[in-house]
């Protein structure tokens, strides 16, 4: 497809970052218009601003719709775009529940267009290295993994948007909003999850419905075991960390950097520096959104498969919503 035309829906924190990425890729795509319920936010990002996707689609000819609205609105906006025959890039997580994600999957199947869910850390060089090592068998049989996000979010973060910290629109707290990236990497490394058990708590924030701490365990189809830990109540905020262990090697990614890799065929690499947690300031986001866009552009050209599909992200949503059900019932939850 020669220079696909993109439209962006949602011009908040992450919408601004997508605007930046579209600018970096101006030789491959045209961002033609932006929609936001708050028209002034859309106008700040584009000369062609609309108050809704509906209005935008009435006036603009676009190929790809990028969905950057609050999570609980992803389905409505993505499905409207798919019914109009558009390709879709939707921010993480795809939706707040597995059932709502399945509605997007059904709309995509009917439309026959491409959809990717942003999971930008899958494109980090550190992740690529670890997943390739696992694929080659360099870590041997994968036996366990740990996904841990020890972040801090002040009360002002949750107060900054009505949707933040609500079940309906955020879909969950530390595990769903912040932890989903690292859960997704755990799933990428350990394979299909089959059972989860977890506890959650709301310990350091007020006026939120969801958890600010979650701790759990996951069993995978291969027999390997995973630990989940996600917190927005870990002052002053440390890192997002993935550990993967096998019977012939181990790998550790800390704040997107490969800090340890020892395999049957590689030397030990030890990182010496550790940076502070990446906050939601778009200026601090890594380059990986751009890399995921490149994969999507290649897929539009028929040169590569879409690497993070709705079905891929659905597995992480199933783990997280399963963890919530487990915390509510006090029982392990089998994942379908």
Ligand X SMILES: NC(=O)c1ccc[n+]([C@@H]2O[C@H](COP(=O)([O-])OP(=O)(O)OC[C@H]3O[C@@H](n4cnc5c(N)ncnc54)[C@H](O)[C@@H]3O)[C@@H](O)[C@H]2O)c1
Q: Which of 21, 69, 105, 183 binds ligand X (CB under 6 A)?
A: 69
User: Does the footprint of ligand X cover residue 35 (CB under 6 A)?
Assistant: yes
Cα dihedral 126, 320, 190, 104, rounded to 10, equals -80
Give, as ranges, the residues between 150 and 169 that touch ligand X (CB under 6 A): 161
- Nearer Cβ to ligand X (14/105): 14
User: Does the footprint of ligand X cover residue 39 (CB under 6 A)?
Assistant: no
User: Does the footprint of ligand X cover residue 43 (CB under 6 A)?
Assistant: no
Task: Tell me the closest approach of the beta carbon of residue 144 to ligand X, in angstroms.
Answer: 26
Q: Which stretches of 31-73 are DSSP H helices? A: 39-45, 53-59
- Nearer Cβ to ligand X (38/287): 38
Backbone angles phi, psi at 7, to 5 degrees: -125, 140
User: Does the footprint of ligand X cover residue 65 (CB under 6 A)?
Assistant: no
Residue pointed to by tokens 């960390």: 241
Instruction: Using alpha carbons, select from 123, 122, 119, 131 the residue that is nearest to residue 261.
Output: 131
CB count, 10 Å around CB of 219?
18
- Nearer Cβ to ligand X (142/320): 320
Contacts of 267 (CB under 8 A, 6+ apart): none
Instruction: Using alpha carbons, select from 141, 173, 161 the residue that is nearest to residue 245.
Output: 141
User: x/- string (CB under 6 A) for ligand X, residues 194-213?
Assistant: --------------------
Cβ pair 225, 259 in contact under 8 A: no
Measured from each CB, the residue nearest to ligand X is 12
Say whether 110 sits in a helix, a strand or coil.
helix
User: x/- string (CB under 6 A) for ligand X, residues 112-141?
Assistant: ------x-x---------------------
Contacts of 46 (CB under 8 A, 6+ apart): 8, 19, 31, 32, 33, 34
Residue pointed to by tokens 């025959």: 85
User: Does the footprint of ligand X cover residue 172 (CB under 6 A)?
Assistant: no
Q: Which of 22, 34, 57, 71 binds ligand X (CB under 6 A)?
A: 71
- Nearer Cβ to ligand X (12/145): 12
Q: Which stretch binds ligand X (CB under 6 A): 37-45, 203-211, 225-233, 260-268?
A: 37-45
- Nearer Cβ to ligand X (97/263): 97
How far is residue 17's CA from residue 149's CA, in Å, rounded to a whole number? 22
| Site size toward ligand X, by CB under 6 A | 26
How far is residue 118's CA from residue 259's CA, in Å, rounded to a whole number? 24
Task: Tell me the closest approach of the beta carbon of residue 170 to ligand X, in angstroms.
Answer: 8
How many Å separate Cα 14 from the centre of its chain?
Answer: 12
Task: Tell me the closest approach of the beta carbon of residue 145 to ligand X, in angstroms.
Answer: 21
Q: Where does this chain bind ligand X (CB under 6 A)?
A: 9-15, 35-38, 41, 52, 68-71, 73, 77, 91-92, 118, 120, 161, 177, 280
């Amino acid at each position: 497809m020669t220079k696909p035309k993109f439209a962006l829906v949602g011009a908040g924190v992450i919408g601004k970052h997508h605007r930046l990425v579209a600018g970096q890729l101006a030789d491959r795509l045209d961002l033609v218009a932006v929609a936001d319920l708050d028209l002034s936010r859309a106008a700040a990002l584009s000369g062609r601003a609309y108050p809704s996707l509906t209005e935008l689609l009435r006036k603009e000819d676009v190929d790809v719709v990028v969905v950057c609205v609050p999570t609980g609105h992803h389905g409505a906006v993505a499905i409207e775009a798919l019914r109009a025959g558009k390709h879709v890039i939707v921010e993480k997580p795809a939706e707040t529940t597995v059932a709502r994600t399945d509605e997007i999957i059904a709309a995509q199947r009917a439309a026959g267009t491409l959809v990717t869910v942003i999971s930008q850390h899958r494109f980090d060089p550190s992740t690529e290295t670890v997943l390739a090592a696992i694929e080659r068998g360099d870590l041997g049989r994968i036996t366990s993994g740990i996904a841990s996000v020890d972040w801090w979010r002040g009360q002002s973060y949750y107060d900054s948007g009505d949707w933040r910290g609500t079940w309906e629109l955020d879909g969950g707290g530390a595990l769903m909003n912040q932890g989903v990236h690292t859960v997704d990497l755990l799933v990428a490394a350990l394979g299909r999850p089959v059972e989860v058990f977890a506890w959650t708590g709301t310990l350091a924030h007020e006026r939120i419905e969801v958890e600010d701490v979650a701790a759990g365990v996951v069993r995978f189809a291969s027999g390997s075991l995973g630990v989940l830990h996600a917190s927005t109540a870990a002052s002053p905020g440390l890192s997002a960390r993935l550990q993967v262990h096998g019977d012939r090697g181990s790998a550790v990614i800390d704040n997107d950097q490969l800090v340890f890799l020892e395999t049957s065929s590689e030397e030990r690499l030890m990182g010496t520096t550790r940076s502070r947690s990446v906050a939601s300031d778009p200026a601090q986001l890594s380059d990986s959104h751009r890399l995921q866009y490149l994969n999507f552009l290649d897929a539009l050209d028929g040169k590569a498969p879409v690497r993070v599909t709705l079905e891929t992200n659905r597995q992480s949503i199933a783990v997280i919503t399963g963890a919530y059900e487990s915390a509510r019932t006090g029982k392990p939850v089998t994942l379908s």
